[in-house]
Structure 1
Amino acid sequence: MTVTTDVPIDPWPAPTADRPVEATVTMPGSKSATNRALILAAISDGTSRLTRPLRSRDTLLMAAALGGLGVAVVDDHDDWLVHGQFPLRRVPAARIDCGNAGTVARFAPALATLVHGDVVLDGDPRMRDRPLTPLLDALRTLGARIDGDRMPLTVHGRGCLAGGEVTVDASASSQLVSGLLLAAPRYDHGVTVRHVGSRLPSWPHLEMTVAALRAAGAAVEATVEATVETEVVGPTGSGACWSVGPGPLVAHDHIIEPDISSASAFLAAAAATGGRVVLADWPDRTVQPGRMLPDLLAAMGCMVTHTAAGLEVRGPGRLNGIDVDLSDYGEAAPTLAALAVLADSPSRLRGIAHLRLQETDRLGALATELGRLGAAITVTDDGLAISPAPLAGARLDPRADHRLAMAYAVVGLVVPGVLIDDIATTGKTVPQFPRLWAEMLGIGMPGALRW
């Protein structure tokens, strides 16, 4: 297999596979799980150990944010020790860099209300355009003093927050609800949050929040709750409600699951090349939205098997198009779009209008950038319509979006001459992605790729 390993940072020549990929991959920890665990450990009584946490730009920003609020996050070999405390220390003036991390921007403000002092939150230019107002208005209703509706903004922490009942239109992001729930046990009266508005996206991430809270000892009630067994996920509109009671949180050890959403690009390597990839340590039961990935790959013609070694994906001779509602798993859209442009029949990706408000406008970016290769993609009201078309190499801009960069790498396995700008943006969730991608392709016999 021909692989370039000495790659320039900008642009990066995506390696083309000259035979089916054959590899075993072990993923790093989940970004979503790591950042939820960090927040809850910070306001628990005592020291928590995070085992196999993800160390990437987003999680390092979260750890630094906690440090700015007076909570120590300390390396202990591969683990993190979080020295939780409540009440939080007095912080005369703190600045939190949210980068382009939605979890930091939407989880930190609720936590900042619990310090004594002013906390300024800012981030990358794109973060200043991402939706925060519903969260900030909810915090004001609960008793917070906050200047500004977009970054940079200032939270005037008073060491406590009354809490109570609030309504939130979280149709732009489920993180707007999670941010409130994670700090709620330390509010005087807890929090009851009711979603109002259109369909709530990324429902499984709220499952992750509820599960993390319960593991830390919080009392949580949810009126609409998904189950792993039935895969019934998410309300179609208003009415979902969560109540978190006030009370102490218990410091405990968190074993962070592998990031099975970021694994989608590596499993897609098998789908795109007709190869075989095994994802080691696939959880037997998980609330991560990535649990939906096996069925999606199977619908495109892959053979997916749960084995003792992990989740095995074997790619077909020809990929099928797919027509699917991704409202609960919008993270998969870039990877599925990459596979869809390689498929032999049309695809429709639905229920993902909220992706316009991610790290970039993912819908517009996918249509424009993959269109440079010759892909026939139309942006619809709620997603993408993709038809088969001849493809040729071109230079693609991921627009500072990690999932787009990885998706373009998938297309590059089959389409020679794909150049990707700013491949370093993958460090948001997958550190050292270019080297690891090249190592996967360089395996001449079944082997193991570890992080």
Structure 2
Amino acid sequence: MAPNPAHTALWPAPHASEAVDATVHVPGSKSVTNRALVLAALASEPGWLRRPLRSRDTLLMADALRAMGVEIEETVSSSSTGGAGNPDRAGEAWRVLPDGLRGPATVDVGNAGTVMRFLPPLAALADGPVRFDGDPRSYERPLHGVIDALRVLGARIDDDGRGTLPLTVHGSGALDGGPVEIDASSSSQFVSALLLSGPRFNQGVEVRHTGSSLPSMPHIRMTVDMLRAVGAQVDTPESGGEPNVWRVTPGALLGRDLTIEPDLSNAQPFLAAALVTGGRVLIPDWPARTTQPGDRLREIFTEMGGSCELADYGLVFTGSGSIHGIDVDLGDVGELTPGIAAVAALADSPSTLRGVAHLRLHETDRLAALTKEINELGGDVTETADGLHIRPRRLHGGIFHTYDDHRMATAGAIIGLAVEGVQIENVATTAKTMPDFPELWTGMLGA
């Protein structure tokens, strides 16, 4: 079969000839959108998602839920212009009408971690079998935490002993639930997957993490906050419970009218542009309180040489014209690593990024990919046991490969601002979470 032209095309990364000064409307959060879809599908009444993200991952989630019997109506108000000029599609809303979960069904997870991990627990509640399949890379991503836990909780799953896709969940219409131990050190999504469906299990669920450090804790806090917002009772370590134990009480979930926050992790390349060019970028509607990991960018990029002001209308980030190296533990915010590594490669001093060994199991092995691609542009990056050490060097142009990873593509674009002649392979992979990225990026630069 011939390769997809979008996967082999090269996109000349725009080079910034002057400091950026732009307002960028960042689309909605993927993490919030997909959790909201799951909770709405499990609710006892209809709900609304306003300003949801429309990207490959969220459309895969919506289509998967439809295949399992959930009705999702999409509407766009006549006042919404859509397109790159209004990328957050302010007038768009999805109405979710839960009507029982049914099989037989087939679910395409693509390479979306949230889809492949959050939906098998729902499938165990369905009346009939649900088969899960996806992109070739999805076969390499760990699912054992969810599969083994669901079996302990009473589910029947066929995966030929692989602990990965493809697999079939034989739904029986209900699941006993109860206590379960899992090692979620490779992905916090194992915990979130069980918590999200826990209210619908007959005994609820008690999830006990037994492994080493647990990555991406902000994402678990996001899950807990969103569960509580729809009426679930959740006990957590932060609320006085046992360390590494989360309990969800069985009960009905409410339908909600939820407006999705901008995706703060997807704001990263635009904030980085202000830092790299010594410019200024406004991200409207940045929330004053959020569980999104991307909120940590305010602290990290300020330490690397910028300054920020959070106001009612949004976040204004300003670069100083200098970029400083950083020594930082990114264990809770690993998805920010590619963008931080790109900025660090342009800094005036070395950086050490720690706590992100689990990135070797993401859309690609992000540590190996960042090392290879930055070094092939003349950089000096070495992998450590749990991260990267980056010594800034004068970089040159060349092809920046993305490995079908959206955050690799945006990392290459950041470097291209300061280095002429960088070409991004398959920039279209950004559609996983930000379909309008090329237009937003060139628009920021006034092109």
Q: Which of the five TM-score ranges fits, normalised by the shorter chain?
A: over 0.9
How many Å apart are 1:26 and its aligned residue?
1.4
**What is the match of residue 163 of structure 1?**
177
Q: 2:409: which partner in 1?
A: 405
Q: Which AA in structure 2 matches 1:350?
A: R
Aligned to 2:269: 265
> Are 1:103 and 2:114 matched, yes or no?
yes
1:288 equivalent to 2:288? Answer no
Distance in 2 of aligned mates of 1:285 and 1:329: 16
Q: Which deviates the most, 313-322 or 162-171?
A: 313-322
Is residue 29–residue 258 contact of structure 1 (8 Å, CA) maintained in 2? yes
Q: Which residue of 1 aligns with 2:135?
A: 124
Note if 1:309 corresponds to 2:322: no
**1:435: Cα distance to partner?**
1.4
In the alignment, the residues of structure 2 paired with residue 389 and residue 263 of structure 1 have an alpha-carbon distance, to the nearest angstrom, of: 26
What runs of 5+ residues in structure 2 fail to find an aligned partner?
1-5, 77-91
Distance (Å, rounded) in 2 between the aligned partners of 1:419 and 1:26 = 25
**1:422 — aligned with what?**
426
Q: Is the 8 A contact 1:47 1:84 kept in 2?
A: yes
Asked if structure 2 preserves the Cα contact closer than 8 Å seen for 1:161 and 1:188, the reply is: yes
- The normalised TM-score by structure 2 is 0.93
- Would the aligned equivalents of 2:285 and 2:312 in 1 still touch at CA under 8 Å? no
- CA contact under 8 A between 1:9 and 1:423: conserved in structure 2? no
- Gap change, CA 1:279 and 1:225, over 3 Å in 2: farther
Does 1:11 pair with 2:15? no
Q: TM-score, normalised by structure 1?
A: 0.92
The equivalent residue for 1:205 is 219
Q: Secondary structure at the match of 2:32?
A: helix
SS of 2:418's equivalent in the other structure is coil
CA distance in 1, matches of 2:376, 2:98: 49
Give 1:331 deviation, angstroms.
1.1
Question: Which of 327, 331, 341 is the aligned partner of 1:337?
Answer: 341
Give the share of equivalent positions with the same residue, in percent. 54
Q: Which residue of 2 aligns with 1:447?
A: none
The alignment yields a C-alpha RMSD, in angstroms, of 1.6
Is the Cα–Cα contact under 8 Å of residues 210 and 220 in structure 1 kept in the other structure? Answer: yes
**Aligned with 1:66: secondary structure?**
helix
> Which one of 153, 164, 187 corresponds to residue 142 of structure 1?
153
- Assess if the C-alpha contact under 8 Å between 1:73 and 1:82 holds in 2: yes
Q: Partner amino acid for 2:356?
A: I
Moved over 3 A (4+): none
**In 2, Cα distance between equivalents of 1:257 and 1:150:** 32
Aligned-partner Cα distance in 1 for 2:407–2:439: 17
Which amino acid is the alignment partner of residue 277 of structure 1? V
Amino acid at match of 1:203: M
**Residue 27, structure 1, aligned to residue 39, structure 2:** no
Alignment partner, residue 177 of structure 1: 191
1:224 Cα deviation from its structure 2 partner: 3.4
Letter of the 2:10 partner, please give it: P
SS state at 1:342 partner: coil
SS in 2 for 1:328: helix
Rounded to whole Å, the distance in 1 between the matches of 2:352 and 2:332 is 15
CA distance in 2, matches of 1:170, 1:112: 21
Q: Give the CA deviation at 1:370.
A: 1.1
2:89 maps to what in 1?
Answer: none
